[in-house]
Amino acid sequence: MGSDHRGVILKEEILSYVSPENDDENPTKFNLAIIQNLKPHDTKNSVDYPDIVKEFAFYFNGYSHGILICGSGFGVCMAANRFKHIRAVVCRDVYDVEAARQHNNMNVMCLGADYTDPDTAKYMVEAFFETKFEAGRHKRRVNKLS
């Protein structure tokens, strides 16, 4: 999981929701083995999203799900799709997430912090982890992307 400076607050909200270090008062549905919280960790210093995505892509190789956040989601998505092992999609709601997982085998969900409230993001994260790729005719098309 990574973000630029504009996505830090939403990233922290999502991390608190999916983090394996939760307690009984803040249960999570997810038992994630690894959570990489890539920089930045504050909103004070501006960072360039291509640099964050490059670091993310290095660590992401071999993982099944990743989340990137910037102000609109567009910048991190464009940067992420430069890497062969990433299929990134900007998602605005649960329906986008489900369609991108089912039909396009999205493995990186890109969110716009300026457009996504934390409660909606939690439902989107659930859909991201729970929705499976349908394969079938979609598999042939997705295979042509690499």
pLDDT per residue, tens digit, the chain (146 aa), is 889 999 999 998 998 888 755 556 655 556 554 556 666 666 777 888 999 999 889 888 877 889 999 999 999 999 999 999 999 999 999 999 999 999 999 999 999 999 999 999 999 999 999 999 887 777 767 777 77
Domain 2-17+47-143 sits in CATH at 3.40.1400.10
Q: Clarify whether 103 is annotated catalytic.
A: yes
Per annotation, catalytic residue among 5, 70, 77, 91: 70
| pLDDT of 44 | 77
CA 81 to chain centroid, in Å, comes to 13
Paired residues of 67 in beta bridges: 109
Q: How far apart are CA 14 and CA 121, in angstroms?
A: 7
Give the helix/strand (H/E) hosting 117.
Answer: none
Give the helix/strand (H/E) hosting 146.
Answer: none
Q: How far apart are CA 146 and CA 49, in angstroms?
A: 23
Tell me the two tokens of residue 49. Answer: 């999203």
Per annotation, catalytic residue among 5, 85, 103, 110: 103
pTM of the predicted model as reported, rounded to 2 decimal places: 0.86
Q: How far apart are CA 98 and CA 124, in angstroms?
A: 9
Q: Clarify whether 138 is annotated catalytic.
A: no
